[in-house]
Amino acid sequence: MTAAKTEGPVYAFVGLGNPGPRYADTRHNFGFMFIDHLSRALGVPVEDTAIAGAVSGHGVWNGHRIILVKPITYMNLSGRAVARLLEKRPEAGDNLWVAHDDLDLELGWLRIRPGGGSGGHRGVAHIQQVLGHQQFGRFRLGIGRPPGGRDPADYVLAPFEPSEEPLVLAVLDRAVAAAQVLMAEGPEAAMSRFNGPVAG
């Protein structure tokens, strides 16, 4: 009976960010935060030891085989870790979802999409470049544009403000719920139910 439960599809969730304590709580690490949140919710621990340019976790949730990945190649080379994952587990390419921060969405917004362009996000762009296509899903986690003409490069590498933390946690909770619905009912159900603002 146990073996039968692990025969379902493989879902790979890749969260983008930069490794090390210097970047741990920054806006650019929203994807890492999502993987940590999802890891706890699904009971799929992410190992501390890096293999093939990433730390990862493998497990089963509700009959679905789960792979959680955090590339440690630094953001702009994220595609290397994704390519290595798909070399080892090509079946994961059928349900590959990349979570990342998004300047074009306000903080508090989640947008799930089955594919599309990079929107100027260098981590996503590198994955597209290495894989040679755009056919992987996105969990776009809004961080909003920097205020007062602040340099976007500095803004994304700065921590969330204390006043923003409740909204950050609310979005992470929403994204985890969306991932669970996505696996249980499909992407259309997740997009219909969870795309939009937390308060929406």
Which residues are designated catalytic? 28
Closest CA to 119 of 140, 137, 136: 140
Query: Three-state secondary structure along the chain?
Result: CHHHHCCCCEEEEEECCCCCHHHCCEHHHHHHHHHHHHHHHHCCCCCCCCECCEEEEEEEECCEEEEEEEECCCHHHHHHHHHHHHHHCHHHHHHEEEEEEECCCCCCEEEEECCCCCCCCHHHHHHHHHHCCCCCEEEEEECCCCHHHCCHHHHHCCECCHHHHHHHHHHHHHHHHHHHHHHHHCHHHHHHHHCEECCC
The alpha carbon dihedral of 61, 80, 28, 139 has a sign of negative
Do 52 and 84 meet the contact criterion of CB atoms below 8 Å apart?
yes
